[in-house]
Amino acid sequence: MRIWKEIQSADPARHANLVITDPGWLWDRDSNNLTRAAGGSSSLIEGLFVDQPLFVKLDKVKVRDARLSSPYFREGMARLAVAIGSRQNIRDLMQREKRRQRRKRIFRILVTAILILALAIAAGIVAMDRIEADRIAVNQLISEAQDEPDQVAAAAMALEAYGRNPSSSEAGLRLLRTRSSLVASLPSSNNVTSSLAITRDGDRLATVGYDGLLTLWDTRNQLFPALLGTRELGRYAISADFSRDGKLLAVGRLDGVVALIGNPGLKVLSSNPYGLGAVKAVSFDPRVDRLIVAGENGFGTWDVSAPEQPRQIGKLVPSLDTIRDAVVAPDRPMLVTATEAGIAWWNLERGTLLDQHKFPEPNALAFSADGSQLAAGSFKGVLATFDDRMNATDQWTALSGNILDVAFLPDGRLLAAGQAPEMTIWRDANTSVPLRLAGGMSFAYAVAAFPKGDRIAVGGGNQSPVLLVRSTDPLSAARGQETKTEFRPSALSGGRSGELFWGDVGGELHHRTVKIPSRNSGISVGSPVTALAHSTDGTRIAYGTQSGVTAILAPDGSVEPVARGGRAIRGLAFVAGGLAVLDSDGIVRIYKGSGKIHEIDPADDRILSIAAGPANGTLLVGRAKGDVELLILYEEGRHHRASRMPGRSGVSSLAVSQEGLIGVGREDGNVMFTNWQGDKLAPPKQVRAGVGAVRSLSFSPSGGHALATTGAATITLISTRAGAMHSVGDVPGPGAEVTMATFIDAGDIFAAASYDGKIMFGDVAELVAIDAQLIRSACAAVAGQMAVQQWFVHQGNPWRDSNSCKDVD
């Protein structure tokens, strides 16, 4: 309500005993006289009764409270004032009303708090439901993993992700499903992680940020590294290295200062400028206790046996060109520098130049563990290797962006990282494995390999954490040698004895033996090859072309024509002693000997794919409306539909395993698995392969796996063991658009082709072997780590005794 005050008298003492009454009267207790207040008639709602009364005029006030606006209250106040003549009683009446208003406010606050609490409880229930769903999903995968080594390793990796960030359950499950190479994620610099250093025994990892934040980690536990401490060293830290015994850490900065820090404790023992300009690299000599510091203007050597007072050894060696990086050879007194002009080799004892090579914009250097190889990476994405005699051995483009760091792995492979969405691991210039970045990292600024095992430390920018990843990423490790073809591959078919046939859009049919390295050999067929199929015994290969020509290639190299001219061939299958041919009109013709013996008309539902059935004399056909039919073929040229499995999406591919398992790839990206039960097709099981049509589907000859492609950059690996079909993960393909993939022989070797003309070869057995090794270490960590037990408690899972690992050898 709106109130304003009007002083009635300038002399408070004159009206000391006056009491305001209603309607606008003043009562003098001493004289017991009522007089009208100045200012005319007013309606009194509330009076201020103090030692020296203040006269209040309330005019045209809208009263909202019923009790305040009631005649009883308005007139009763005046009657009380006149009858009792006590200001205290009226004051008590007003205080009572104020207490009522206070209780009302408290009640509103309580109601609001109860509502907020109810919302919080509801949100908690939703969160618990999600946690329970995660728990069920994890338990289901772990239960399935008793016979699935790859799934156990995947679960172990997911446990690490959950234990490190329990709130990111969705990310953990996604990690479990896709089986990333991520082992651990370590918080690091608030800026760019500019350098990484690992002790010779691999027990300590130091991360240095460009903002000067030094972080030390105990990495003996692979899944759960322990934080040992942090230290602020000043801005522009750019390089770090541990001494031979790991008790001393050197950190170089761009302002020319080198700090020597004790380990453990991270006590700064000395911090001095070394007179070489901006420090680009600090390296401890692996053979003796001395520190080599390379600045932009040259390099020098210091005795750091007393780290509080480093002593310079010899003179500083100037460099005519600005040094960008430097590395010390592990087996001899040699320093290699990368400058704007190229790569230079120096004798550390004498400070003399031994040799130099021109190389485009070198930026990163690394020696192998035995010193037999030197790797150099450039800003142009080029990687080069040199032998121990300073001779160039190879040079190739390793990354699409700038190479910012390189490192040799313990097994001799070479890692290149930089401004690209993935790192690459090279065994030689022709054989590489991609390693995808994770954890929100857009590029890798620094990398370091642990001296034992397969872990790699990766530091990036944009405030991303330091990642510990496996160099033997199971899904990436399945990716092996690649070859570049002149024309885009248009059809693939794998045979026995490691043979692969592929046809290209240039009208060439190629042959290659994968296990025994051989050059590609091929013949010209005059038209783009559109379909290939191997015979059951693997000795003959049938091909179909865009021009409608179909033929069979015999082992001796002779060609047996089947059909000449017509519509483009879309599918082939050896069946019933003959060859089934599907053309672009959706018509299937079966040829035996020199002529056609049977034709299957699509009627009103075009046939999109065919495959030899699970039993002799049977043919599978997939139709545009989604039906899959199993046909029995008879010698006299007729057929009978033995079973039909309906579907909602067109059948784009078909495949049958050696055990009789039928795979159906659909245009909606799903793969259905069924089998022939003698009189009908069993109810199918579904696995999601991708977002596009399943272009190719292939079963491993040894059983247990299938490959599906949908035109994405990856190949979907599916486990088919024990009838528990599920997606294991995505294998990186040879290019941006993988068009087809096929298994080749009983060794589970596979080949995949991409739209840009690359063919990749890999081995799924290697994938399983790698995972089996991870199971043992992961399960041992699970059994002994309280952090993992806490993760299970957080997820509401009582499992704590590694029961899921009990069957792991």
Here the tokens at position 321 are 């060109």
135-150 pLDDT, tens per residue?
555 555 445 444 444 4
For 679-712, letters b (16+ CB in 10 Å) and e give eebeebeebebbeebbbbbbbbbeebbbbbbbbb
Percent over 90 (pLDDT), the chain: 30
Token pair 């004498």 in the structure block, residue: 350
Q: In a 3-state reduction of DSSP, which class is residue 487?
A: coil
Least Cα distance to 396 among 414, 411, 422, 410 occurs for 414
Here the tokens at position 759 are 């063919």
Sign of CA dihedral 526, 528, 531, 536: positive
pLDDT at 507: 82
Here the tokens at position 755 are 């739209």
Here the tokens at position 119 are 């919302």
310: phi then psi, degrees, rounded to nearest 5? -60, 145
What are the strands of the beta sheet with 628-633, ordered from one edge?
Answer: 607-612, 618-623, 628-633, 639-645
426: phi then psi, degrees, rounded to nearest 5? -115, 130
Q: What is the mean pLDDT of residues 435-463?
A: 80
Token pair 């005019």 in the structure block, residue: 59
Q: How confident is the model at residue 323 (pLDDT cuts 50, 70, 90)?
A: very high
Domain ranges of the chain: 4-85, 184-472, 501-598
* Interatomic CA distance for residues 360 and 402, integer angstroms: 12
Identity of the highest mean pLDDT range in 52-56, 618-622, 775-779: 618-622
Whether the Cβ atoms of residue 606 and residue 586 lie closer than 8 Å to each other = yes
Whether the Cβ atoms of residue 541 and residue 535 lie closer than 8 Å to each other = yes
CATH topology of domain 184-472: Methylamine Dehydrogenase; Chain H (2.130.10)
Q: How confident is the model at residue 356 (pLDDT cuts 50, 70, 90)?
A: very high
Whether the Cβ atoms of residue 358 and residue 342 lie closer than 8 Å to each other = yes
Write the DSSP symbol of residue 452. Answer: S
493-549 pLDDT, tens per residue?
887 666 788 888 888 888 777 654 444 566 788 888 999 998 887 788 999 998 898
Q: In a 3-state reduction of DSSP, which class is residue 505?
A: coil
Whether the Cβ atoms of residue 666 and residue 650 lie closer than 8 Å to each other = yes
Amino acid at 351: G
Q: What's the chain's Rg over C-alpha atoms? A: 41
Sign of CA dihedral 403, 408, 409, 411: positive
pLDDT at 484: 64
* Interatomic CA distance for residues 809 and 172, integer angstroms: 26
Least Cα distance to 74 among 111, 114, 23, 32 occurs for 23
Length of the chain: 809
Residue 283 reports pLDDT greater than 60: yes
Q: Provide the CATH number for the domain formed by 501-598 in this structure.
A: 2.120.10.30
For 331-338, the CB contacts below 8 A with 24+ separation are 331/286, 331/287, 331/370, 331/371, 332/371, 333/285, 333/287, 335/283, 335/292, 335/294, 335/299, 336/365, 336/367, 336/374, 337/294, 337/299, 337/365, 338/362, 338/363, 338/364, 338/365, 338/376
Distance of CA 333 to the CA centre of its chain: 42
Beta bridge partners of 503: 491, 509
Residue 641 reports pLDDT greater than 80: yes
* Interatomic CA distance for residues 205 and 131, integer angstroms: 34
pLDDT at 735: 73
Least Cα distance to 544 among 500, 594, 589 occurs for 589
- The predicted model scores a pTM of 0.49
Whether the Cβ atoms of residue 504 and residue 490 lie closer than 8 Å to each other = yes
pLDDT at 807: 35
Write the DSSP symbol of residue 54. Answer: B
Alpha helices in 338-490 (DSSP H): 474-477
Q: How confident is the model at residue 151 (pLDDT cuts 50, 70, 90)?
A: very low
217-273 pLDDT, tens per residue?
998 877 668 888 888 888 889 999 999 889 999 999 999 999 999 988 889 999 999
- DSSP string across 97-127: HHHHHHHHHHHHHHHHHHHHHHHHHHHHHHH
Q: Outline where DSSP puts E strands in 429-577.
A: 431-436, 444-449, 455-460, 466-470, 479-484, 489-494, 499-504, 508-513, 521-524, 529-534, 541-545, 550-553, 559-563, 569-575
What are the strands of the beta sheet with 714-719, ordered from one edge?
Answer: 696-699, 705-709, 714-719, 726-732
715-750 pLDDT, tens per residue?
888 888 767 787 777 777 777 788 899 988 756 788
Q: What is the mean pLDDT of residues 205-219?
A: 90
* Interatomic CA distance for residues 496 and 559, integer angstroms: 19
As a three-state string, the secondary structure of 292-343 is EEEECCEEEEEECCCCCCCEEEEEEEECCCCEEEEEECCCCCEEEEEECCEE
Alpha helices in 209-253 (DSSP H): none
pLDDT at 766: 57
Token pair 């290969």 in the structure block, residue: 541
Whether the Cβ atoms of residue 698 and residue 717 lie closer than 8 Å to each other = no
What are the strands of the beta sheet with 749-754, ordered from one edge?
Answer: 479-484, 758-763, 749-754, 738-743
